[in-house]
Amino acid sequence: MRAHPTTTCRPTEKRVVWPEALDAITRVLERHGCRYITGKTWTTDAFYRETPNKVARRREQGCITVEMEAAALFAVAEFRGVQIGQLLYGADDLGGIEWDPRGLGQEMPARETIFWLSVEACVEMQEQCPNKTACAT
């Protein structure tokens, strides 16, 4: 199982990470003995425009994943003034020449585990937050 606490890496180069969220996620993953890596995520809504040149540029910038939802979630959190973190599970792989589904859609136990790890991280983040109204749960 791979779970990724991530930052956002967009063409604007805006990087958003809340240390409290990342720390809570990391503590939960370590407490449960989960293997994980941290890194930047390229988030885009243009999945058919992930050209080889764009992929190479994002890799040069240190992005290790690409996904479609984080930008919207992080933008709402920033607008609302709340903290957010992300656990990203890579069910398939677009890193090669061809798409590798790696059993996409067949990992329900892994997805359920990530859900409960996320809940635990939210609770921990809420407990550690000095300003309870500024923490998203």
Predicted pLDDT at 135: 52
Q: In 3D, which of 11, 25, 132, 127 has the Cα closest to residue 66?
A: 11
Ordered strands of the 87-88 beta sheet: 63-67, 39-43, 4-9, 87-88
Whether pTM exceeds 0.75: no
- What tens-digit pLDDT sequence spans the chain (137 residues)? 444 444 444 455 566 678 889 999 999 999 999 988 888 888 877 667 778 888 888 889 888 888 888 888 888 888 888 888 888 877 677 677 777 776 666 656 878 888 999 999 999 988 877 665 555 44
How many domains is the chain partitioned into structurally? 1
If you count them, how many residues does the chain have? Answer: 137
Residue span of the structural domain in which 116 resides:
4-134
Return the number of other C-beta atoms located less than 10 Å from residue 22's C-beta: 19
CATH of the domain at 67: 3.40.50.1580
